Amino acid sequence: MAVLPKRDQIGYRKVKEIVMARIRSRHWPPDTILPGEADLAAELSCTRTTVNRAMQELAEDGIVERKRKAGTRVLPTPVRQARFTIPQVRTDIEGAGADYGYRLLSRDVAAAPGWLAARTGLAARSRMLHLTCLHLADGAPFQLEDRWVDVAAVPAILDADFDTSGPGEWLVREVPYTDIDVAFFAASLSAAQAARLGAAPGDASFVAERMTWLEGDLVTFVTLNFRPGHRMQATG
């Protein structure tokens, strides 16, 4: 049997491509107001629904800006956004083909320190579980984790056993959350941190800091120090 001829109707992907090409080629330079969805649909002989989906995605991608009645405008400098998967240390390590290892370094319950309360809006005397642990890749120190968990928000945390696997995995499995804030920066390792990571004091460490929230209340605050040389990749 002959292969059935593909229906050559135009789809939203194709529409996206066409519009992108026109924007890139300066056929529609920055700040241009694009033709309305109905016009484009007519030109490309598809329905407005299809054009709409394409345009919505272009808006999501930061290529255009849409406003009712005002129309769709080509953004001057494409506000391209990059995405990265929020680091999960076990996945990171195993994804790189290395063996994952873990060690609990310390565990204690204490009142939230002032700097933490100030940064997160916690009550100053909140009871927190404070954990530090080390994640290893092929036996070598990879990441140093310093975590605070609000006991009021997650009472069960006190009964959890973190001798053989980290609190991150337990939390992500057991505790719901609605929002995450992440920040990245560089810091010099203290003597204590360097010793844990098998690096030299003062070495530059890539640091991820994460706050996890459930409906506006802090669940956990964690600081992750990576071993010197670590790179975080993203793609736009």
Partner DNA sequence: TTCGCTATTATGTGCAGACATAATAATCTG
Partner DNA sequence: CAGATTATTATGTCTGCACATAATAGCGAA
Query: Max alpha carbon distance in the chain (Å)?
Result: 77
| Candidate list 24, 27, 107, 119; residue touching its own copies; CB under 8 A | 24
23, two tokens: 């924007």
Does residue 141 contact residue 172 with C-beta atoms inside 8 Å? no
Q: Are 157 and 139 in contact (CB under 8 A)?
A: no
Q: Is 68 among the residues that bind its own copies (CB under 8 A)?
A: no
Q: Which of 36, 81, 95, 198 is the binder for its own copies (CB under 8 A)?
A: 81
The reply on whether position 170 binds its own copies by CB under 8 A is no
* CB nearer to DNA: pick between 15 and 208: 15
Of the candidates 65, 63, 71, which has an alpha carbon nearest to the alpha carbon of residue 18? 63
Q: How far apart are CA 60 and CA 150, in angstroms?
A: 35
Give whichever of 53 and 103 is closer to DNA, judged by the CB atom.
53
Block residue for tokens 């598809």 = 46
Single residue of 68, 83, 173, 231 touching DNA by CB under 7 A: 68
Secondary structure letter of residue 190 according to DSSP = P
Q: Assess 103 for contact with DNA (CB under 7 A).
A: no
Pick 2 or 82: Cβ nearer its own copies? 82
Dihedral (CA of 107, 110, 112, 113) sign? negative
Q: Under the criterion CB under 8 A, does residue 138 sit at the interface with its own copies?
A: no
Q: Which of residues 20-49 bind DNA (CB under 7 A)?
A: 34, 36-38, 45-49
Residue 181 within binding range of its own copies, rule CB under 8 A = yes
Interface with its own copies, residue 80, by CB under 8 A: yes
Contact between 9 and DNA by CB under 7 A: the answer reads yes
Q: Which two tokens stand for residue 54?
A: 């394409």
Cα distance from N-terminal residue to C-terminal residue, the chain: 43
The alpha carbon of 101 is separated from its chain's Cα centroid by a whole number of angstroms, namely 23
Binding residue count for its own copies, defined by CB under 8 A: 48
Counting contacts by CB under 7 A, is residue 5 touching DNA?
A: no
Measured on CA atoms in the order 115, 207, 170, 176, is the torsion positive or negative?
Answer: positive
Nearest distance, CB of residue 171 and DNA, angstroms: 28
Instruction: Identify which of residues 39 and 60 has a Cβ nearer to its own copies in the complex.
Output: 60
Question: Whose structure tokens read 């140093």?
Answer: 144
Member of 13, 24, 26, 80 binding DNA (CB under 7 A)? 13
The one among 182, 191, 192, 195 contacting its own copies by CB under 8 A:
182
Query: Smaller CB distance to its own copies: residue 134 or 189?
Result: 189
Binder of its own copies out of 78, 104, 127, 223 (CB under 8 A): 78
Token couple for 170: 């337990």
